[in-house]
Amino acid sequence: MAALWNTLQDRHDNPSAASYTSQLLRAGEDEIAKKVGEEAIEVILAAKSQGTQRLIEEAADLTYHLLVLLLAQGAPWDDVLEELASRHQGP
């Protein structure tokens, strides 16, 4: 995940016309949020009827788009990890 985050950050800092990530970031937060919603629905559909491999593929798409949205909002991935860790109430 760190490598992916670093790649996304690089696309943010050094936009390229050929980069889908750069295109998403140029489109803006509303468009990115729309993609997150679409991918979330596709995850649900895959889980219900399309098999494990399709679920994995859609989960990867959702994760990617969520990371792009976090980047667009200036919310670091490490902060998400810290939030998850703070919720852990293990022994």
pLDDT bracket for residue 35 (50, 70, 90): very high
Run of H or E residues at 27: helix 20-27
Q: Is the pLDDT of residue 89 over 80?
A: no
Average pLDDT over residues 55-67: 98
Asked if 8 and 65 touch (Cβ cutoff 8 Å), the reply is no
- Local structure of residue 37 (DSSP, 8 states): H
How many whole angstroms separate alpha carbon 80 and alpha carbon 58?
Answer: 20
Asked if 40 and 64 touch (Cβ cutoff 8 Å), the reply is no
Asked if 40 and 62 touch (Cβ cutoff 8 Å), the reply is yes
| End-to-end Cα spacing for the chain | 26
Please report the domains of the chain, with CATH numbers, ordered by start residue.
18-78 (1.10.287.1080)
Give residue for tokens 């959702």: 62
Q: Is the pLDDT of residue 24 over 80?
A: yes
Asked if 21 and 13 touch (Cβ cutoff 8 Å), the reply is no
